[in-house]
Structure 1
């Protein structure tokens, strides 16, 4: 018998009905008090299906899904439904769930928050009161377009509780649930052949994986065959629709969890995991029925389900009859399709095999035969290698297996690295092999070695055999191991093919970069290498069309060699404490000039990332080397007390020539000159200022695009250059240029902001660029301007001066806030970041923050605003509370917890603060968040 609520409780309920904002407080108070409130809420009309709130579309185009406050009480009180005496109430709760869901179905809306609460209630209702048809309601919950993964955690709990019930009805409920949960949809593949499709679940993959890990083994163990069959059918349907059964060793190399698996979060991978675990649970508790089922799987049409069956057979070997395990001892399974699972089946259990089973394995391995590609003749090496794959699984368990393994190894002289995988993915580059080792190269005279290397041709063998690339890498190792010998005999190497010359230069680059081989006579190394490279590029055949052709992926051509020379030179003069002798500056300059006269530039399209193209092109690498060489020479002149103008004059004619290359369609220098503009100002301020019109190429569109991209990487504001770009209108022109990337434009916004913050420009100037940017009212530009200035909060030494600069901009931006459109609200939200500059929450800053606070959550900036309000509330508690209340005009989340607690503490400490604190927590309650009220209670208790 449940007693009705008393008079005072009825009065409280009536007040809450008349004043809905009070309802959350009432629900919080009565939660857990008993079932009498169910009658009271029902009589008050609060449990009607139409009371379940529908998603609300905001003016910004988003949807907000409100909480049904009453559902919190329903969940807490449903704990009592476990008791048999409240069976009639349990039936009424179930009917409420049915009616509410049916109403939502009829009116075509959902509320995942309500469905989540309902799923909690189902965990407390006796299974016998739930009809199989009720699972249709769960299917509708799971189809919610805004969220469904949140249900999976509660449904997992419910399934586990149902599994504890031994009744057949409970098992049927679990089966029906699985049937609804494992429903996936299909869509065209984003990448793939025309007509190909892929499966997907609506749940977040992480949530679904957690569900699978919690439930699969248990449902297989308790529910048994019905549960396993549902998962098998789901998996096979996905395999059929995606047509990926034959490729399973690629998307799922291992049935068990393994680092090689690349599709753990894909639909096929998730269902495979669920099927595997459920089958394991089934086999461990119902071995006789499972054995029949396993045999059916092995005779089925799908390789994936066969692989799962083999895996389970291997894990539960002792549970099966000899006849069942012997099914796998069939040549049809000794293939790459089943290699991983069968290999481990053998490795784990071979020592338990009967003599007949062992001999059967040997017989199968013995008849393996791999033929040559162009004939039916047996490829002895490939056959032995394939046999070794299976023999590695059993050689440690049997003397005969070890003997057969040794015999195969004598043929191949090579062991399988990952014998349990038909294909194995490893990070890094392809491992190329060489028929000749670096050690063998040492024994060959250098002049003969050149002939050996140049005459090498890659044999037609397996894909993993030795090749030209492997030989080249081995030659690099030979050079690094014998740098002194090689540099002494480098004259013999001038006729080497370019692939080996590239490795030669790279070998010395690596030694120099790591500062190894300090005992080397580096002066000789540099002298001989520069002469070698100079002779190389002086030969007409080096510049032939043949040498510039694209080779295979890892074979160097002329462009590789040029790039390697440029990078090596740059390494040699970047740092004065690790540089080549200054006597080499002139020959190195001549070498670079020879190259730049002949090496063509890379293609620059209008939409190219010019800097990336320039710094990685062969020509660009040589230009960078030349710039660093000029800097090196000028630094050396300065160290001796001389003017570096004389040094600069040696390079000026070359750079003058490079300035003209943009007119000829070569844009490396156009990009790199502005990219290195700070360095050029050091080399010759006069040259830069004289050539600014040529450097920024306003008449050559592509050259100008390259120059502006290069300049966007300059980190330091150069006042004179900035003044020129401003006067010519090039910065604003760049902001209007559609081809330029957002990153490039953002850098120019930053440049404009820095000029303002440093006082180079002021708002009083008619042509102040930051004011022009604000007046343009471009949302992306303003958003980045606000964010960049915010990022300077801890970098500026004079924070007061920085704050004053910010406060001068604030009203200009605030004037653009149009709260009638989404962009205006986003701008207001972005401005909330600037609360960090406020130290006195009074006068104008208080008015500014109050105006924009209500839009903080539009761009998810309420979190940051609350952190700053917590800081300000120490000195301005009531003012902070007023801004906070303004923020809560739109729904906001109840975090960060520490900031909310701190503001509440500071507000509560004021005589008139209790009213404000109550208003604040009421706002949170209206939106379904009761934690702030709990925190306020804690504060008041203390």
Structure 2
């Protein structure tokens, strides 16, 4: 059901050809850190459901894995590959039964395939290892540059063997080493073809990381200053490639280059980038210590140098080579990575690092106007990343103040003037990145200073500058927590209503606003009565918004017994139904969406039965028919007469045929509960429409009836049902 919902959201198979662009990894990963729209939520739901269904070895688990692997939708296939890797012992064989040569070449499947090989190779049987090597050897890509066919095929083979290297297979290791010797090492972050980390991957280096580690400080400086890329060789070693190798050297060295950090103050930007990136990854990814005081001294020297501001002001001549803008991002990322709750830099250095970030903000030009994807711009632009690091460091300082029971608000004294200056610029439309951060981090600002945040809320979501407001709204789309004060301010300033009805902004803005509205209703902060926003949607029968709310409420399903939230969802449903009847409107899409709420029905009352009779004919308009049938099966034993009436109503609009076991289960439960005539009527109706889906169910029901009555004659209606069904077999 979830997989079907995901494919509905994606669209056609052709629309899913490049799923790795909008979803880098099936598992939770920092590459998708800011991707939590409806499509991504559905991917998470399908993944988690599949992991649950394959947690134990069984025929059903294999069937789930195969259904994903055999899907024409690459996203579902990727989920299948991921599940096979996570639960190899249970469903790993499904991968080999379904594997296609295209998976080993197509970039869409690369990340999940890499992880599958890396995690599962030690569990591969001899036959499976042979199949793996055969796929690798037979690989032949359809590359855009046919003149490099051999090179590109062999580098792809090298990359496929890389996750299996060092896992005890001598043949694999030998083949991998031969390809590395011929074509060089794999790129940084080999499990991604494109990795967003402030730099570029895949460039060639003139030297190995081990060789850099082994050099003395003097030799290292001499080597780095003496390297010059060959202009005549388009695919030769580059500054970027050497910087990447330097990053790796910092990570693998014993001391994290502690004794050599200060040597980089006078070196060019690519090497400063390589060092700082290495320090950040050593700290955050490898969880290894770095020399924070010396790192601070280096960064202070970099940002204090006259050339720093001059380089920032100069036009960028080559955006693909590490520049001062890359260094700014590296500084920001390093600080942000060390400002967390579990692992952070020495607290006595917070103030000095904050001053560094202030100096960077002063030197870096602000972004003017707005972007169609303001969040993406803000979290990737050097200044935006610096602002984000500043906020994270301010939060770390506040936590330190709180833990120390400090009477004075030292943190706000340090950060308040900076935030006020940034906000003032934001209100004039010349600070788009900070305007975006206002929406993204408004709850965190409240933690830093409640009075300032609440008092300036209509400046954070600017009522005087539309461009700034648009950026803040896009930032808000990634806000994950509802607070009473936040909801009150959003309503009082008209911000939430404006987001709900926004037409020019990305859809996720309205989606998140609707979700906040729905959650506020469930928590008792919003009412269906009066002149509130939710009441406005119901009275106006806003189909798009009410449908989105219905889906959001559906995500809270899963309670075996009624809860307060269940009651509020059903009250919402009845209110919408009442309004539809008052107006006499025919709203197929809304009625279809309302069918999702059947999951909250634990006992069919006259009101909920009537609501479902009204909605059932339209259930399949938005492909909610299977969901309706599953809930009717669940309720059939307890409320057979009501379920029979709803099923008949559904058949007036469409013929439920998925999932077949739910359809048959519903009919059987009706018969078991005493509604035999209704069960037989449904079976006959299917046969009359040319469907054999309930043929066996009908025959089983008739057999039970004959057995119970002791009669061998076929009752009236049987011949028609059997003959019609037989014609379909």
**TM-score if structure 1 supplies the norm length?**
0.53
The yes-or-no answer on 1:475 pairing with 2:241 is no
The one of 259, 267, 282 aligned to 1:496? 267
Residues 312 and 324, structure 2, Cα contact 8 Å, conserved in 1: no
Report how far residue 816 of structure 1 moved: 5.3
Residues 901 and 936, structure 1, Cα contact 8 Å, conserved in 2: no
Q: Distance in 2 between matches of 1:790 and 1:205?
A: 25
The one of 892, 901, 912 aligned to 2:655? 892
> What's the counterpart of residue 600 of structure 1?
365
Residues 638 and 644, structure 1, Cα contact 8 Å, conserved in 2: no
Residues 443, 646 of structure 1: alpha-carbon distance in 2 compared, 3 angstrom cutoff: closer
How do 1:244-259 and structure 2 match up within 5 A? none
The yes-or-no answer on 1:710 pairing with 2:475 is yes
Q: Distance in 2 between matches of 1:636 and 1:914?
A: 70
> What's the counterpart of residue 692 of structure 2?
930
Report how far residue 910 of structure 1 moved: 5.0
How do 1:635-646 and structure 2 match up within 5 A? 635-643=399-407, 645-646=409-410
> What's the counterpart of residue 225 of structure 1?
none
Report how far residue 477 of structure 1 moved: 3.1
Report how far residue 260 of structure 1 moved: 6.7
Report how far residue 782 of structure 1 moved: 1.6
Report how far residue 862 of structure 1 moved: 1.8
> What's the counterpart of residue 860 of structure 1?
623
Report how far residue 838 of structure 1 moved: 1.6
Residues 437, 854 of structure 1: alpha-carbon distance in 2 compared, 3 angstrom cutoff: closer
Residues 793 and 799, structure 1, Cα contact 8 Å, conserved in 2: no
Q: Distance in 1 between matches of 2:369 and 2:607?
A: 51
Q: Distance in 2 between matches of 1:485 and 1:756?
A: 52
> What's the counterpart of residue 354 of structure 2?
589
Report how far residue 721 of structure 1 moved: 2.4
Q: Distance in 1 between matches of 2:621 and 2:418?
A: 55
Where 2:344 maps in the other structure, the secondary structure is: coil
How do 1:459-538 and structure 2 match up within 5 A? 459-482=230-253, 484=255, 486-518=257-289, 522=290, 525-538=291-304
> What's the counterpart of residue 577 of structure 2?
814
Aligned length: 538
> What's the counterpart of residue 770 of structure 1?
534
Residues 429 and 465, structure 2, Cα contact 8 Å, conserved in 1: no
Q: Distance in 1 between matches of 2:686 and 2:565?
A: 35
Residues 691, 939 of structure 1: alpha-carbon distance in 2 compared, 3 angstrom cutoff: same
The one of 912, 915, 919 aligned to 2:677? 915
The yes-or-no answer on 1:456 pairing with 2:222 is no
Residues 559-568 or 812-821, more deviating: 812-821
Q: Deviations for 1:103-128, whole angstroms, at most 9, x for unmatched residues? A: xxxxxxxxxxxxxxxxxxxxxxxxxx
Report how far residue 689 of structure 1 moved: 1.1
Residues 659, 859 of structure 1: alpha-carbon distance in 2 compared, 3 angstrom cutoff: same
> What's the counterpart of residue 62 of structure 2?
none
Residues 494, 257 of structure 1: alpha-carbon distance in 2 compared, 3 angstrom cutoff: closer
> What's the counterpart of residue 873 of structure 1?
636
- Aligned-pair Cα RMSD in Å: 3.6
Q: Distance in 1 between matches of 2:487 and 2:622?
A: 33
Q: Distance in 2 between matches of 1:834 and 1:864?
A: 10
Residues 809, 736 of structure 1: alpha-carbon distance in 2 compared, 3 angstrom cutoff: same
Residues 862, 481 of structure 1: alpha-carbon distance in 2 compared, 3 angstrom cutoff: closer
Report how far residue 567 of structure 1 moved: 0.8
Q: Distance in 1 between matches of 2:488 and 2:102?
A: 60
Residues 893, 840 of structure 1: alpha-carbon distance in 2 compared, 3 angstrom cutoff: closer
Residues 340 and 396, structure 2, Cα contact 8 Å, conserved in 1: yes
Residues 601 and 617, structure 1, Cα contact 8 Å, conserved in 2: no
Q: Distance in 1 between matches of 2:464 and 2:668?
A: 64
The one of 807, 827, 835 aligned to 2:590? 827
The yes-or-no answer on 1:613 pairing with 2:384 is no
Report how far residue 780 of structure 1 moved: 1.7
Residues 445, 664 of structure 1: alpha-carbon distance in 2 compared, 3 angstrom cutoff: farther
Q: Distance in 1 between matches of 2:107 and 2:304?
A: 54
Residues 634 and 644, structure 1, Cα contact 8 Å, conserved in 2: no
Residues 480, 844 of structure 1: alpha-carbon distance in 2 compared, 3 angstrom cutoff: closer
The yes-or-no answer on 1:572 pairing with 2:338 is yes
The yes-or-no answer on 1:756 pairing with 2:527 is no
The one of 303, 306, 320 aligned to 1:540? 306
Residues 509 and 568, structure 1, Cα contact 8 Å, conserved in 2: yes
Report how far residue 442 of structure 1 moved: 5.1
Report how far residue 581 of structure 1 moved: 1.3
How do 1:166-205 and structure 2 match up within 5 A? none
Unaligned 5+ runs, structure 1: 1-203, 208-255, 265-314, 316-334, 345-408, 419-424
> What's the counterpart of residue 790 of structure 1?
554
> What's the counterpart of residue 438 of structure 2?
673
Where 1:799 maps in the other structure, the secondary structure is: coil
The yes-or-no answer on 1:740 pairing with 2:505 is yes
Report how far residue 542 of structure 1 moved: 1.3
> What's the counterpart of residue 376 of structure 1?
none
> What's the counterpart of residue 555 of structure 1?
321
Where 1:669 maps in the other structure, the secondary structure is: helix
Q: Deviations for 1:410-455, whole angstroms, at most 9, x for unmatched residues? A: xxx963689xxxxxx9946764333334444456553454344234
Q: Deviations for 1:211-257, whole angstroms, at most 9, x for unmatched residues? A: xxxxxxxxxxxxxxxxxxxxxxxxxxxxxxxxxxxxxxxxxxxxx96
Where 2:656 maps in the other structure, the secondary structure is: coil
Where 1:544 maps in the other structure, the secondary structure is: helix
Where 1:767 maps in the other structure, the secondary structure is: coil
How do 1:709-728 and structure 2 match up within 5 A? 709-728=474-493
Residues 562, 777 of structure 1: alpha-carbon distance in 2 compared, 3 angstrom cutoff: same
Q: Distance in 1 between matches of 2:497 and 2:539?
A: 12
Residues 311 and 324, structure 2, Cα contact 8 Å, conserved in 1: no
> What's the counterpart of residue 846 of structure 1?
609
Report how far residue 599 of structure 1 moved: 0.9
Q: Deviations for 1:913-934, whole angstroms, at most 9, x for unmatched residues? A: 2322232122212321122132
Residues 671 and 709, structure 1, Cα contact 8 Å, conserved in 2: yes
Q: Distance in 2 between matches of 1:467 and 1:852?
A: 64
Residues 858, 336 of structure 1: alpha-carbon distance in 2 compared, 3 angstrom cutoff: closer
Q: Deviations for 1:67-112, whole angstroms, at most 9, x for unmatched residues? A: xxxxxxxxxxxxxxxxxxxxxxxxxxxxxxxxxxxxxxxxxxxxxx
Residues 897-906 or 693-702, more deviating: 897-906
Report how far residue 533 of structure 1 moved: 1.0
Q: Distance in 1 between matches of 2:620 and 2:293?
A: 65
Residues 602 and 617, structure 1, Cα contact 8 Å, conserved in 2: no
Unaligned 5+ runs, structure 2: 1-69, 74-99, 109-137, 139-144, 155-177, 186-190, 195-199, 705-729
Q: Distance in 2 between matches of 1:858 and 1:864?
A: 12
Q: Distance in 1 between matches of 2:358 and 2:399?
A: 21
Where 1:564 maps in the other structure, the secondary structure is: helix
Q: Distance in 1 between matches of 2:71 and 2:629?
A: 32
How do 1:151-550 and structure 2 match up within 5 A? 415=182, 427=193, 431-441=202-212, 445-447=216-218, 449-482=220-253, 484=255, 486-518=257-289, 522=290, 525-545=291-311, 549-550=315-316
Residues 851, 690 of structure 1: alpha-carbon distance in 2 compared, 3 angstrom cutoff: same
Q: Deviations for 1:284-337, whole angstroms, at most 9, x for unmatched residues? A: xxxxxxxxxxxxxxxxxxxxxxxxxxxxxxx9xxxxxxxxxxxxxxxxxxx977
Larger Rg: 1
Q: Distance in 1 between matches of 2:626 and 2:244?
A: 54
Q: Distance in 1 between matches of 2:692 and 2:302?
A: 78
> What's the counterpart of residue 32 of structure 2?
none
Report how far residue 715 of structure 1 moved: 1.6
Report how far residue 800 of structure 1 moved: 3.5
Report how far residue 646 of structure 1 moved: 3.1
Report how far residue 462 of structure 1 moved: 4.4
Q: Deviations for 1:469-504, whole angstroms, at most 9, x for unmatched residues? A: 222222223333446484334333211110110111
> What's the counterpart of residue 146 of structure 1?
none
Residues 526, 736 of structure 1: alpha-carbon distance in 2 compared, 3 angstrom cutoff: same
How do 1:23-42 and structure 2 match up within 5 A? none
Residues 549 and 557, structure 1, Cα contact 8 Å, conserved in 2: no
